[in-house]
Amino acid sequence: MPDEINRNQIDSEGRGRSTRKGDVPELLQRRYYTDERGGPGLGFYADARVQAAAFRDLGGRLVAARSDPTAIRDMAAVAQHRGWTAVVVHGDKDFRREAWLTARALGLEVRGYQPTERDRQELERRQAALARKAARAAEARPERADREPRDAAAGRTNMRIVEAVVRARVGDRPAQDRILTAARERLASWLERGARVQPVEVARPQAQQDSLRSRERQRSR
């Protein structure tokens, strides 16, 4: 096994979580080409013509030859998708630093890197950027409407979703409070301008979806 493939790693810490090779978010399934040639595990290739994998999936371990921020971001997304609430990072300092920043911003606990004060400041900025992105997703496109009570209710629902995302992904409580205060002020400004707010669709758990479909089939008989 080549040393350069083994050097930079994100390992799952703990049991009871997915370690199945190829278990990745749908977006990464569309972004990468995969095969098991060229090294251990499943290789993820950014282009059909390249020879070197961006990273390789060994199930409970994700490895990369380089400290590429895009690959590290996607490796962290795989870890989050698989429910790895805690990970251990190994390898070059640049790799461990970027893996720490990326995984911590997603709410994962990380061992194997000792952050500096500037690292912590960078983490807070990344967490704030993720929370702003979540807030934008929770807000509807502004449209004029005379439906203030419904819009206010939808706004409250969306804010609860934003708060849940922020509390789950941002570890520092003061940072959480600052982000949520800014999101509430932004939503209040939209409502004051008469913007129409649509409630965010939240996916139901699979078991609940199956139960609803079963009841619908029974009613149709």
Bridge partner list, 33? 45
Q: In Å, what is the CA distance from 69 to each residue of 9, 74, 100, 161, 212?
A: 13, 9, 11, 29, 42
Q: What is the pLDDT of residue 109?
A: 95
Q: What is the pLDDT of residue 218?
A: 57
Bridge partner list, 12? 87
Q: What average pLDDT score do residues 20-40 get?
A: 94
Q: What is the pLDDT of residue 119?
A: 97
Q: What is the pLDDT of residue 196?
A: 55
CA 133 to chain centre: 11
Higher local confidence (pLDDT), 108 or 163: 108
Q: What is the pLDDT of residue 2?
A: 46
Q: What is the pLDDT of residue 149?
A: 57
Q: Which residue has the tokens 């999936």?
A: 57
Q: What is the pLDDT of residue 199?
A: 54
Q: What average pLDDT score do residues 131-146 get?
A: 66
Q: In Å, what is the CA distance from 196 to each residue of 70, 131, 149?
A: 36, 22, 11
Higher local confidence (pLDDT), 188 or 131: 131
Q: Across the chain, what does the average pLDDT equal?
A: 80
Q: What average pLDDT score do residues 41-52 get?
A: 94
Q: What is the pLDDT of residue 144?
A: 44
Indicate the range of 42-46, 124-128, 174-178 predicted with least confidence.
174-178
Q: What is the pLDDT of residue 7?
A: 83
**Confidence band (pLDDT; 50, 70, 90) for 45?**
very high
Q: What is the pLDDT of residue 179?
A: 81
Reply yes or no on whether the pLDDT at 155 is more than 60: yes
Higher local confidence (pLDDT), 107 or 185: 107
Strand order in the sheet with 86-90: 33-35, 42-45, 55-57, 61-64, 8-12, 86-90, 109-111
Reply yes or no on whether the pLDDT at 202 is more than 50: no
**Residue 136: which of 183, 76, 93 has the closest Cα?**
183
Q: What is the pLDDT of residue 49?
A: 93
**Confidence band (pLDDT; 50, 70, 90) for 170?**
confident
Higher local confidence (pLDDT), 172 or 217: 172
Residue-wise pLDDT for 57-78, tens only, equals: 999 999 999 999 999 999 999 9
